[in-house]
Amino acid sequence: MRDWKGIIFDLDGVLLSTDHFHYLAWKALADRLGIPFDEKKNDLLRGVSRMDSLEIILGERSDEFSPEEKLAFATEKNLTYRSYLQTLTPEFVSPEVPETLQKLRDSGLRLAVGSSSKNTPLILEKTDLRKYFDAVSDGNNITKSKPDPEVFLKAAQFIGLDPSECVVVEDADSGIEAAKRGGFYAISIGDSVTNGLDDRHINSLVELL
């Protein structure tokens, strides 16, 4: 790999499998509304903001509901999701994740989180992962969600680096697109990225070493 100065990590689905909690929480709402929803459709929501995700789930039925009802649906989903997050502990994270983050830090790289989620602070606290990062850019400091590059551009700014000096690690098509639009080197992880925009693919964070 090139001589990178920083790595920006997506959170859900990259550092830990909270993506499955998102799925379970949306599934509960979709079932209640009688809307078909499965893990494949859930892949379309990766990296996408809460309200945009709701629109994707409602699909053709979106017009049936008022903005107030939609807000209530999103709140309902988030409450279910947060009840799963309350069960998080440091042990929920694969041991190779903190080990790899520590080694990357020791090698002099600056590390940041770049996530669309407004629940990022809670997740980092429950899992004790916050200490590995020089900065966190998340759903609380952006106005445009992935595939807009804003969250990664802010992350790079927070760690004082230019996008050309940073790698982004992502599990979502929307995140890979955001990284490329922002001028970052984009690494995909897992099997959900299908848009072919990634510069490289890895199966485990250990491969970053």
Interface positions with ligand BG6 (CB under 6 A) = 11-12, 22, 45-50, 53, 78, 115-119, 139
Binding mask 44-83 for Mg ion (x = CB under 5 A): --x-------------------------------------
Name which position in 7, 8, 12, 150 contacts Mg ion (CB under 5 A). Answer: 12
Smallest separation (angstroms) from ligand BG6 to the CB of 170:
10
Residues forming a β-bridge with 137 = 114
- Angle at which helices 173-182 and 150-158 pack, to 10 degrees? 60
Of positions 6, 13, 114, 163, contacts Mg ion by CB under 5 A:
13
Token representation of residue 60: 């053709």
Q: What does 16 interact with, of Mg ion, ligand BG6, none (CB < 5 to 8 A by kind)?
A: none
Which residues, in sequence order, are bridge partners of residue 8?
Answer: 112, 168
Per the structure block, which two tokens stand in for 118?
């407004």
Cβ-based nearer residue to Mg ion, 9 or 158: 9
Nearer to ligand BG6, 12 or 198 (CB): 12
Angle at 107 between CA 1 and CA 102, to 5 degrees: 110
Task: Give strand pairing partners of 188.
Answer: 170, 201
Residue 44 is classified by DSSP as T
Torsion of CA 178, 201, 206, 46, to 10 degrees: 40
Residue 169 interacting partner from ligand BG6, Mg ion, none (CB closer than 5 to 8 Å by kind): none
Cα–Cα distance, 183 to 165 (Å, whole number): 9
Token digits of residue 160: 């004082």
Active site residues: 10, 12
Which residue of 171, 173, 177, 198 would you call a contact of Mg ion, by CB under 5 A? 171
Q: How far is the CB of 137 from ligand BG6 (least distance, A)?
A: 12
Whole-angstrom Cα distance, residue 159 to residue 136? 9
Give 32 or 82: the residue with its C-beta nearer to Mg ion: 82
Chain residues binding Mg ion by CB under 5 A are 10, 12-13, 46, 171-172
